[in-house]
């Protein structure tokens, strides 16, 4: 799960060895209407899903095409629901990757194509369940998504049973580490972000921390990791701690009583681990007289809230996020792609590079193996990520040239992760700390090693 960030500066951090823990899940919409029939179908699959405000990638795979002969990418990304703000970056990242792959000659001499669907969110599970079955019925070579760990956990048994590769650019739940031979991801896990955030809070001089946490695998997992780091650095969690049963339901809308209980615990800093619920939590905190200057957000709510709140409401709020902020060239290309397909301004590029790299890795795995079947992609994913060494290459075209020379490769992509490990997680990743100026998290503070 990502954030609307500007000008991030980040430094790499080791995920595995530094933490000695298992790896881990995450998350405003851009304007525009879907140009995909499948997106329209998915948006209507559940009456409770919010209206689509994110443009889907075009569905352009020929009916009945063979997934072993043509690289058929199925996108399973949030067009509706509370994570729709993540859609534009990942959709444009994946679409731009397909564009670059085809410009370089395609996969095994064939043009790659896309079938787009809506994953929505965990509160609209029928949308995701319906659309994952659609992708499997359409016989895709591989799936890009989901962005929500909860959605992935819900559909992964079905995907794995079909022997289809699923690659998430944004899942961070620890429980997905090594969850299936068919599942891969390139976003750093909750253990990394929680470790970094907890250390930052204590380093900022706070020792009594209150935590508002929504009852979701992402929320509780990130809470556990953050609490462990706070306590390891000498602090305590006075509200919302693990085992206290103080999490709030994901569909909660009235936070006055919850915020009152938080205030009564007398914390000197507060961590808000939530998605869209943040839009109700912040007014409740202000109404209760709680200063926001000692408040921390996470990747799931570190967004540009613009005019959502009165001017400067969030000034001084601190937050953490995973991933790397792409360079200007990538942003320009992704925006051009998104505009071409009916989208408006991309306000957050979080997980866009990860989506781009995920598609490139899967295409390279198909190229290395000689066909685009999921079995071939699964077999070659670790190799093309550099897990077993190889010549470093930084674009699909350059890696393709090396593969045609029968050379081992190490794709070093835009997201800056290290090779995928045996549990199909990134071996290195990034966590950065930002402060809000106004209602935008635009001030880079530092990079923290988890």
Closest-CA residue to 297 (of 267, 313, 274) = 274
* Six-digit token string for 229: 């780091």
pLDDT tens-digit readout, 73-129: 999 999 999 888 889 999 999 999 999 999 999 999 999 999 999 999 999 999 999
pLDDT of 167 > 50? The answer is yes
Residues belonging to the chain: 450
Closest-CA residue to 174 (of 61, 323, 16) = 16
Q: Given this model, what pLDDT does residue 235 score? A: 97
Backbone φ and ψ for 443, nearest 5 degrees, come out as -100, 110
Sign of CA pseudo-dihedral 444, 202, 22, 173? negative
Q: How high is the mean pLDDT of the chain?
A: 87
9-13, 24-28, 264-268, range with greatest mean pLDDT: 264-268
pLDDT tens-digit readout, 39-59: 333 333 333 354 556 899 989
pLDDT of 25 > 60? The answer is no
Q: Given this model, what pLDDT does residue 404 score? A: 97
Sorting pLDDT into bands at 50, 70 and 90, what band is 449?
Answer: low
pLDDT of 144 > 80? The answer is yes
CA distance 44 to 396: 36
Place of tokens 């190490």: 410
CA distance 217 to 368: 36
Q: Given this model, what pLDDT does residue 448 score? A: 65
Residue % of the chain over a pLDDT of 90 = 73
Q: Count CA atoms closer than 13 A to 273's CA, side-chain side.
A: 33
Q: Given this model, what pLDDT does residue 401 score? A: 98
pLDDT tens-digit readout, 320-364: 987 766 788 999 999 999 999 999 988 778 889 999 999 999 999
Peptide bond into 437 cis (omega under 30): no
pLDDT tens-digit readout, 361-407: 999 999 999 999 999 999 999 999 999 999 999 999 999 999 999 99
Sorting pLDDT into bands at 50, 70 and 90, what band is 428?
Answer: confident
Q: Given this model, what pLDDT does residue 244 score? A: 97
pLDDT of 9 > 70? The answer is no
């Amino acid at each position: 799960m990502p954030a609307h960030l500007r000008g991030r500066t980040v430094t790499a951090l080791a995920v595995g060895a530094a933490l000695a823990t298992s790896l881990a899940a995450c998350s405003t919409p851009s304007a525009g209407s879907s140009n995909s029939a499948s997106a329209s179908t998915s948006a209507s699959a559940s009456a409770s899903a919010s209206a689509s405000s994110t443009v889907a990638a075009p569905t352009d795979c020929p009916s009945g095409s063979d997934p072993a002969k043509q690289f058929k990418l199925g996108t399973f990304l949030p067009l509706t629901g509370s994570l729709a703000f993540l859609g534009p970056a990942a959709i444009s990242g994946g679409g731009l990757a397909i564009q670059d792959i085809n410009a370089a000659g395609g996969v095994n001499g064939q043009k790659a194509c896309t079938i787009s669907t809506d994953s929505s969110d965990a509160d609209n599970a029928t949308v995701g369940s319906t659309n994952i079955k659609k992708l499997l019925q359409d016989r895709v070579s591989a799936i890009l998504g989901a962005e929500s760990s909860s959605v992935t956990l819900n559909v992964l048994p079905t995907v794995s049973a079909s022997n289809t590769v699923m690659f998430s650019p944004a899942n961070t739940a620890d429980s997905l580490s090594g969850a299936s031979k068919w599942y891969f991801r390139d976003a750093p896990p909750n253990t990394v972000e929680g470790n970094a955030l907890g250390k930052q809070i204590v380093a900022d001089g706070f020792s009594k921390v209150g935590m508002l946490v929504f009852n979701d695998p992402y929320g509780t997992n990130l809470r556990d990791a953050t609490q462990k780091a706070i306590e390891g650095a000498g602090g305590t969690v006075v509200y919302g701690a693990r085992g206290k049963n103080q999490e709030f339901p994901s569909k909660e809308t009235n936070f006055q009583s919850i915020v009152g209980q938080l205030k009564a615990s007398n914390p000197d800093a507060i961590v808000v681990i939530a998605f869209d619920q943040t839009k109700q939590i912040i007014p409740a905190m202000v109404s209760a007289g709680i200063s926001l200057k000692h408040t921390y957000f996470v990747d799931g709510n570190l967004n540009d809230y613009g005019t959502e709140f009165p001017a400067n409401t969030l000034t001084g709020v601190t937050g953490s996020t995973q991933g790397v902020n792409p360079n200007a060239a990538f942003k320009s290309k992704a925006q051009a792609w998104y505009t071409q397909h009916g989208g408006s301004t991309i306000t957050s590029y979080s997980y866009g590079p990860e989506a781009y790299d995920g598609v490139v890795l899967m295409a390279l795995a198909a190229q290395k193996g000689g066909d685009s079947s999921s079995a071939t992609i699964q077999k070659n994913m670790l190799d093309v990520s550099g897990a077993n060494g190889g010549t470093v290459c930084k674009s699909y075209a350059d890696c393709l040239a090396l593969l045609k020379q029968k050379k081992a490769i190490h794709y070093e992509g835009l997201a800056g992760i290290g090779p995928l490990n045996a549990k199909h997680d990134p071996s290195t990743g990034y966590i950065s700390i930002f402060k809000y100026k106004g209602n935008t998290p635009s001030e880079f503070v530092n990079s923290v090693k988890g």
